[in-house]
Chain A
């Protein structure tokens, strides 16, 4: 199209350098897919780090995952899958120019994102309370009791430091596929459905005050990986919330009245990837056997 004509005959939604709305849409879509590829590779680095440590030190994953609450994780997974559905529906609503429905669906998706982050907050604060943090800050309070992490106990045992009798020789334990079954029970609240052997022993040991647990030497690396992966994912959830807030503003302004739904489509694609990454995180961090 000749330069001097573009102002008269161009659709106002089509930028001057495109010939047609379709070319513009196709460009945006390809750009978004490429961006999502970079996102996958970005997380890919962490998945590689995960794989390397998982294959070199499987015991720390078996040990660490019992402190993650599978129920909360599963709940969050359901919330995100549901939000993927609502945003997919939002794309359809934008296509059909159902602006009111679109707004409600965006609000619903954002609500899901907030619920997700709320649950994540609960999980993080419990880790914080029990000192189950990344490597340099990893200081589990081994004297804490089930259900009341900080009410008592002197929390004197250092992470990874030399433990009495039950000490597992550092990295040499890497062959074992099970967490070392230690008769001296940990009293850190286990996930309700932790490894049966350990869970049963938890009952035997009762309150089990003062009993140190066998912490694999590198258990702290598990929590580093846990916080890095879920933290980075959480930042992406925040980004998604911001993007949906922007969409709401566009919708309120009437940008989608003409059925021009590219932006909704792009944000939805992004949100699906955020959802997908979480599903992998849930599988790889919470559900380990």
Chain B
């Protein structure tokens, strides 16, 4: 069945004159900026967050360059403090939180549901615009007085510093609403728009990832919003809730902040785990192992994530009993993550593993996330955390999870859905080079930081003791390798947009619904309506060398079949 050419469908009677796809239907900047099409919104998000990622990456390289030598290398201490703050704030609030849900999720979620759009398209567009406004505030702060508080905005430092904290936090406040709108939209869409046959446990696991993420987005982000509002009120009016000089409690701010920001790291990692679940099955040519355990573990992580925020404050002077409770709860989050990893490995068992670019990122993910997750054990245990807290060990752990986990999965997702988004294939050879450079560069950058951290190198240090020089320099070299990997990626992906081979509808042999439509899809996504079945039943597909893509052995059962049963 010819699912891969829209021209054939056009003959059956599509009512819009334009036989093009969502990229070509409607021209001009305004047709993008005011589109209600989830795919275009997803793409705009992708462009926006990629720009943020490169901006944050430049800050990171500047930070690493400064740390080549103890004392001043290229910038003053104040400039350094602003750099690491901006690196953190841009990467977290502009890139990684919206990253997978708003860019990839927006594009993929309705397609995976066989739906025409998300449930609330206007809210979706509003979410994007909120992101833009929030980003403007955040970027304006760089110009009027780049913030030097660290991305956590701890009081009372943030209430007393002379930098543009209000502008930055207002930006983050607005970005929070963008995130809430996306999450709310996804919950409603998944609840109300699943196609016939797609019960909760026949949903692709990426949707479980997005769903559990959305729960956190909706339930945790409002608390960040009120926290930042209080911080703004503290600075602008002096309300004294967090300011010790007015009788307030600065540690209360930390509780508020981490009540959002710890769940927020699961906003970052849960959709990444969802991507890995899709990819590991497709590229092992095998049904996912332990579907229900993977799905439930996502929900378990989402719920447990609300109960562990206190582990950021083991050394803040909170009572031993509080520390004990938070430590115990923290360990409980380790279990569902471990369950997922073992299920992914079991999926590879007896498979037929193709090392295409997306799969390389899956393997990277398993390697790096294993380190990131296991080093979390050192930080969850109370007595070792006291030593390791606020050192480079935490920095390394965090990057192994957020970069080694989320960013790597995000890259895997980009490489996986790229043909669907743009209808083009990229160069496999260059993709391998880039994946390898990123893997090596990343490990060199951050593994060294574990060693420095356990030796007592505190984080956010402009100057450092001589004994750490070699490790710092190795780390910096690693960051350059990492940067090179990304430059190459930008090169071959950009090249593919113009010169890449045209992509078939289903280049990888995946059984989820987004591969049932053309690459790229038409504006209305599908010319038919499907009843869904098992999303991991890969046996239903066979490779067709003529189109270099995969087709179904048996046509899907189609509702209102007149659309495309030829």
Contacts and interface: CB of A to CB of B under 8 A. Distances in A.
A adjacent to B, CB under 8 Å = yes
Given A1-B560, A2-B563, A27 B226 contact: no
Interface stretch (B27-35, B436-444, B472-480, B520-528): B520-528
Contact of A23 (B13, B192, B527, B562): B192
A177 interface: no
Contacts of B220: 41
A217 B247 contact: yes
B514 interface: no
B219 interface: yes
Contacts of A289: none
Interface in B218-265: 218-223, 225-227, 229-230, 233, 237-241, 243, 246-249, 252, 256
B192 A27 contact: yes
A31 B248 CA distance: 37
B524 A136 contact: no
A135 B247 contact: yes
Interface string A40-62: 01111110110011001000000
Contact of B13 (A4, A15, A18, A217): A4
A77 to B, nearest CB: 23
B15 to A, nearest CB: 5
A136 to B, nearest CB: 3
Contact of A49 (B14, B237, B243, B252): B252
A3 B116 contact: yes
Contacts of B193: 17, 23, 27
A12 B562 CA distance: 23
Nearest to B527: A3
A128 interface: no
B188 interface: yes
A245 B252 CA distance: 39
B477 to A, nearest CB: 44
Contacts, number: 142
Given A17-B116, A135-B246, A137-B237, A2 B222 contact: no
A2 B240 CA distance: 59
B100 to A, nearest CB: 20
Contacts of A137: 237-238
A42 B121 contact: no
B184 interface: yes
B529 interface: yes
A288 interface: no
A196 B243 CA distance: 34
A218 interface: yes
**How would you classify the secondary structure of chain A's contact residues: helix, strand, loop or mixed?**
helix
A30 interface: yes
A218 B249 CA distance: 12
Contacts of A34: 184, 187-188, 218
A135 B240 contact: yes
B197 to A, nearest CB: 15
Nearest to B227: A45
A3 B188 contact: no
Interface centre among A30, A137, A218, by most B CB within 10 Å?
A: A30
Given A30-B187, A41-B219, A218-B247, A134 B239 contact: yes
A6 to B, nearest CB: 8
A230 interface: no
A49 B227 CA distance: 10
A43 B94 CA distance: 25
B240 A221 contact: yes
Nearest to B528: A2
Interface string A130-152: 00001111000000000000000
B221 A38 contact: yes
- On chain A, which size bracket covers the interface? 35 or more
B489 to A, nearest CB: 34
Interface in B93-119: 110, 115-119
Interface string A1-24: 111100100000001111000010
Nearest to A25: B192
A160 B527 CA distance: 71
Interface in A180-222: 217-218, 220-221
B185 interface: yes
B250 to A, nearest CB: 13
B529 A224 contact: no
A17 B115 contact: yes
A227 B30 CA distance: 42
A99 B192 CA distance: 30
A45 B222 contact: yes
Given A31-B188, A228-B233, A45 B240 contact: no
Interface in A121-171: 134-137, 160
Interface string B162-181: 00000000000000000010
B116 A38 contact: no
Contacts of B221: 38
B120 interface: yes
A136 B247 CA distance: 10
B354 interface: no
B358 to A, nearest CB: 29
Nearest to B214: A34
B123 interface: yes
A18 B527 CA distance: 15
Given A4-B563, A225-B241, A49 B230 contact: yes
Contact of A228 (B230, B246, B525): B230
B400 to A, nearest CB: 31
Interface centre among B15, B119, B522, by most A CB within 10 Å?
A: B119
A35 interface: yes
B247 A221 contact: yes
Contact of A30 (B13, B110, B188, B223): B188
B191 interface: yes
Nearest to A15: B121
Nearest to A170: B247
Contacts of B226: 42-46
B526 A221 contact: no
Contacts of B188: 27, 30-31, 34
B101 to A, nearest CB: 15
Contacts of A221: 240-241, 246-248
Contacts of B528: 2
A229 to B, nearest CB: 11
Nearest to B224: A45
A39 interface: yes
Interface in A52-88: 52-53, 56
A7 B237 contact: no
Nearest to A35: B184
B265 to A, nearest CB: 18
Nearest to B256: A45
A216 B218 CA distance: 39
Interface string B113-145: 001111111010000000000000000000000
6 contacts: A2-B563, A15-B117, A41-B220, A53-B241, A56-B249, A136-B239
Interface of A: 1-4, 7, 15-18, 23, 26-28, 30-31, 34-35, 37-39, 41-46, 48-49, 52-53, 56, 134-137, 160, 217-218, 220-221, 224-225, 227-228, 232
The 8 closest A-B pairs by CB, nearest first: A136-B238, A135-B240, A45-B226, A17-B116, A17-B117, A41-B222, A224-B239, A42-B222
Interface of B: 13-15, 110, 115-121, 123, 180, 184-185, 187-189, 191-193, 218-223, 225-227, 229-230, 233, 237-241, 243, 246-249, 252, 256, 522, 524-529, 560, 562-563
